[in-house]
Amino acid sequence: MLPFPRLVRAPLRHVPSRAAFSGRRSVPHDSDADDSSDAAASDAIVRLVAAGGGGLEADLDRLFAAALSHGLVSSALRALTDRAVPAERFFAWASSLGRGFSQCPRAHNLLVENAGSLGDYGAMSRALALMSERRLPLTDRPFAFLAPSSGSSRNGSVEDAARAVLGALDGVGGPCRASGVFSLVKALASMGEFDAAVSVIEETARKVRYYNVLVAA
């Protein structure tokens, strides 16, 4: 009888840590696996951004070798806002050339919300200017932080905060201001902050569509 040939097991390849988030498995976009991957990557981003330091961009480069998805960037921006971490530096890195992340209204609106929730109206003005430059629409989502129960780190009343937002919109001007004022009034009305909404209307323009938003709320 001939002896059986020996089976030799091929050695396992070592995957370098750089590849931790360098690729995504081929799964449906809305799958639990995809959401879990984004959550893990978002946590890693929050830890790095919160730590800050001069080497942040290099650390992000090492962690994410491949193109960034819009879903991942949006997930990271929400996580940064939830944990009261400024997102401007991360967003600038994500928007740099060659990362696959380009003009995305949703992410830009989330950046505005992040700045507002931290009471950083300078950062909000820069985010609004970027949206105006790229001709991206402003929704009422960025102004959710104005709700008294939103947990934002701002100080003062809703009316004071709304006035600060209006100042940022005035500084940017153009179409972004026009859509921003409407979105601001809509957000305040949806929260039941009618005095603040009326104050914004009186300081801008008594347009019929602004009052229609109050009636519909």
Q: Mean pLDDT: which of 4-8, 102-106, 167-171 is highest?
A: 167-171
The answer to whether the beta carbons of residues 80 and 46 sit under 8 Å apart is yes
pLDDT digits (tens, 9 = 90+) for 32-84: 555 677 788 899 999 999 998 899 999 999 988 777 888 899 999 999 999 99
The answer to whether the beta carbons of residues 201 and 185 sit under 8 Å apart is yes
What is the chain's Cα-based Rg? 22
How far from chain centre, in Å, is Cα 151? Answer: 16
Cα–Cα distances in angstroms (integers) from residue 10 to residues 16, 83, 174, in the given order: 19, 45, 64
Q: Which residue has better confidence, 13 or 169? A: 169
Q: Let me know the angle formed at the C-alpha of 43 by 38 and 46, rounded to the nearest 5 degrees.
A: 120
Cα–Cα distances in angstroms (integers) from residue 3 to residues 6, 8, 9, 142, in the given order: 9, 15, 19, 73
CA–CA separation, 44 and 79 (whole Å): 10
Amino acid 9: pLDDT: 42
Alpha helices in 22-157 (DSSP H): 32-51, 56-63, 70-82, 88-94, 105-117, 121-134
Q: Tokens 């972004």, residue?
A: 176
Q: Considering only the C-alpha atoms of the chain, give the largest distance between any 2 of them, rounded to a whole number of Å.
A: 99
Amino acid 4: pLDDT: 44
Q: What pTM was estimated for this model as a whole?
A: 0.78
Average pLDDT of the chain to the nearest whole number:
81
- Percentage, residues of the chain above pLDDT 70: 79
CA–CA separation, 45 and 25 (whole Å): 19
